[in-house]
Amino acid sequence: ITYVKALDSASKLNINDTFSTTTLATILDHLFYELNVSGENTDASAPNPVDNTTSQLTGAQVLAYRATLTDQRFATLRQLTRIAQMTERRYDVLKHYLTIYSYPHPPDSVQSFVPGVTLPDGSGGLSYSDNSGIGNTRSPINTNTAPYELLVAIFRSVRVPDGGGGFSPLSADKA
């Protein structure tokens, strides 16, 4: 008997993406907050309801650990549990929103245009907070199948014109 398991990796956030590490860290921070696993959306002295710990989990910690890995990539999602702040219960929540398997698009296909949103260079599209990802690949997320919490985390990471010539994050109520 042969078993085949189909996974919709396009509905998850690829933690091996290298397009913009600052943006990925920000999206992870927003996702951890939305899922109540960050440790920051509870009283600092109160334990997190997901895993009864007061330690804070951040996207920067995930990316710092990734930088220590061979080829600076996660080989398995389970490697996340080696991060000091990643408890087993946090991992059990997050594994449904993260992937290492989605298809990476080459640099010439990464320009995503969104009406009303402007990049710092004046072109239309999603505004990434840095240029560290230029020339790297990204794995787009299928907004038709992605979970609500992930979509909110992504949209809270988008930067929009603030009217004064700069860019500011999208407010939580508009995400």
Q: Which of 28, 17, 30 is nearest to 132 (CA)?
A: 17
Q: Say how far apart CA 105 and CA 171 lie, in whole Å.
A: 28
Tell me, what's the pLDDT at 77? Answer: 94
> Helix H segments across 13-172?
21-34, 59-66, 88-94, 148-156
42-66 residue pLDDT tens: 444 445 444 445 578 899 999 999 9
Q: Which of 50, 145, 49 is nearest to 97 (CA)?
A: 145
Token pair of 40, please?
């920051």
Evaluate if pTM is beyond 0.75: no
pLDDT at 88 over 50: yes
Question: Residue range 138-165: average pLDDT?
Answer: 84
> From CA 19, how far away is CA 105, in angstroms rounded?
10
Identify which has the larger pLDDT, 91 or 127: 91
Predicted confidence (pLDDT) at residue 107 exceeds the cutoff of 70: no
pLDDT at 137: 63
